Amino acid sequence: STLFSMLPLAHVSNNKKRITLINPQAVNPDAYKKKLEQAIKSYERRLNLIIWRALSQEERDKFKEDGPVQYMQHKEALLGALESLGWPISCEDVILLEDEILAALTYIQQASDLQEAVKKETEKISESHIKRRNILKAIMI
pLDDT cut 70: percent of the chain above it: 80
Within 10 angstroms of residue 46's Cβ, the number of other Cβ atoms is 16
Which of 92, 89, 107, 95 lies closest to 40, judged by CA?
A: 107
**Is pLDDT of 2 > 60?**
no
At residue 140, the pLDDT reads 77
Cα 89 from chain centroid (whole Å):
25
At residue 34, the pLDDT reads 94
At residue 115, the pLDDT reads 84
Whole-number Å distance between alpha carbons of 122 and 120:
5
Answer for the pair 55, 85: CB distance below 8 angstroms, yes or no.
Answer: yes
pTM for the structure as a whole? 0.69
**Is pLDDT of 24 > 90?**
no
Give me the mean pLDDT over the 93-98 stretch. Answer: 94
Query: How high does pLDDT run on average in the chain?
Result: 84
Please report which helix (H) or strand (E) contains residue 20, including its range.
strand 19-21
Give me the mean pLDDT over the 30-51 stretch. Answer: 94
At residue 121, the pLDDT reads 81
Segments making up each domain of the chain, as ranges: 3-140
**Is pLDDT of 23 > 60?**
no
